[in-house]
Amino acid sequence: MEITFIGATRTVTGSMHLFEYKRQKFLIECGLYQGHRAESERINRTFPFKPREVRCVILSHAHLDHSGNLPTLVKKNFKGDIYCTPATGDIAELLLLDSAHLHEHDIAYFNKKQKKAGLPTKEPLYTVSDAEEAIRYFRSINYHNQFEPVEDVFVTFYDAGHILGSAQILIEFDGKRVLFSGDLGRKNMPIIKDPEIIRDIDYLILESTYGNRIHSSVEQMTDELKSIVIEGREKKSKIIIPAFAVERTQVLITMLKQLYEDGVLNDIPIYVDSPLATSVTEVFVRHPECFDKETYSRFIKEEPFDFPGITYIKDQERSKELNHKSGPMIIISASGMCEGGRVLHHLIHSIESENNIIILTGFQASGTLGRKLLDGYKEVFIFDTKFTVRAKVYFMAGLSAHADSNDLVEFVDSIKNSRLKKVYLIHGEITEAVALKDKIQALGIPVEIPECMARVEL
């Protein structure tokens, strides 16, 4: 088997790896590279192989950095199956359509400016109809059901514990076993099952997003959320929580439901103001097979993401009404890094009052509004208007859906035996990957951090 590491090499986004066995090519993932505009354009618009020659794609989970360039692949003549778990298929459908809308919207804005300046216009990376076409190629395979995507290669999905439907991908051929971790989650996170441990592996391809960082525990996070909510209730705050639509929003809802049942919320209303997060939450309810024991036993008795006081908003008018309501209230809205979406309107209406609270709930990339709030900027621009930041900003980093450094080392340690020959580290900035490499090598296992387009023969 020959593997070419194409994307998410020494970086986090754009996950894509080409496998070739007995002249049959297949891809593990086809993610969107998210970086500076010109660079992203160049990387996402071209593939270093002929899409027509690729027999199929196998997807670890729905996040766009793993699935988001599938419509371009299909647009460029890929005709094979796209294998994933049923929940991944359902979430990817929502995310790809949303992404296509954004690409169309962005390019329309860009082209308007270009035309005015007499400069050439561009086509979007892909359109809604390209995304719809890609969705037609999806094939659902349940966890633990082995399938044969190309001749003599056998693949099985195992729980990765990262987001609903996320999978580790076990690839078997010629008596060899290669495990692709996908994005790996953490133990004891609410809702989904923990990452599974698969033994007797020859080669491990492992993510390294947080190869050098340690998260706080879920229990610490619940306590932190509780004290912020109590503070907000006393100050009659609008508590704005920018949150990713998949998993982060549902985890927050689960935590708030617990606080409601403990009587901490009293009558503070909660609004989930995001059409995408609302649709994704509906997908969660359709996939109880992905729930951990605790969530499943709740699920058979009651709605896990519903309780008195929580309102899901899809309609734009109802979203606008929130601007004129006074606190205390909690608004969960996308996007998670405050880069777009309805959360911007809520920030405009709340950021300048010292009574209000903003809770950042995850990784904030440099250059984003979320990062500026995290870094304590006193003035920020939203839609070209300057705002003074008077609201109090909290950061709950421990809600991450990724394993931290200790989790990753423990994961390797628990699958390690004499059979494990090498670990390849992907999906991490170089500093994180190098730190993790040192820790894994201390276990006595050789580690490599492949560069973009590095080829290995297994």
What is the contact surface with Zn ion in residues (CB under 5 A)?
63, 65, 183
Q: What residues contact 177, with CB distance under 8 A and at least 6 apart?
A: 170, 171, 200, 201, 202, 203, 419
AA letter at 216: S
* Residue 82: closest CA among 47, 30, 129, 152: 30
Do the strands 447-448 and 422-426 form a parallel or antiparallel pair, or are they unpaired? parallel
For residue 148, the minimal CB distance to Zn ion (Å) is: 26
What is the Cα–Cα distance from 310 to 217, expressed in whole angstroms?
Answer: 25
For residue 187, the minimal CB distance to Zn ion (Å) is: 17
Closer by beta carbon to Zn ion, 63 or else 342: 63
Measured CA angle at 321 (ends 315, 327), to 5 deg: 125
Q: 């099952």: which residue's tokens? A: 193
| 283, two tokens | 């997908």
Closer by beta carbon to Zn ion, 65 or else 93: 65
Q: Across the strands, what pairs with 454?
A: 5
* Residue 332: closest CA among 251, 404, 262: 251
For residue 374, the minimal CB distance to Zn ion (Å) is: 20
Closer by beta carbon to Zn ion, 191 or else 228: 191
For residue 227, the minimal CB distance to Zn ion (Å) is: 29
To 10 degrees, the CA torsion angle through 260, 265, 269, 273? -70
Burial annotation 346-377 (CB, 10 A radius, 16+ → b, else e)? bbebbbeeebbbbbbbbbbeeebbbbbbbeee
Closer by beta carbon to Zn ion, 63 or else 215: 63
Closer by beta carbon to Zn ion, 32 or else 97: 32
For residue 45, the minimal CB distance to Zn ion (Å) is: 21
For residue 64, the minimal CB distance to Zn ion (Å) is: 9
For residue 189, the minimal CB distance to Zn ion (Å) is: 13
Closer by beta carbon to Zn ion, 60 or else 356: 60
Q: Where are the beta strands (DSSP E) in 9-70?
A: 16-21, 24-28, 54-58
Closer by beta carbon to Zn ion, 65 or else 224: 65
Closer by beta carbon to Zn ion, 169 or else 228: 169
For residue 164, the minimal CB distance to Zn ion (Å) is: 11
Query: Which helix H or strand E contains 388, and what residues bound it?
Result: strand 385-388
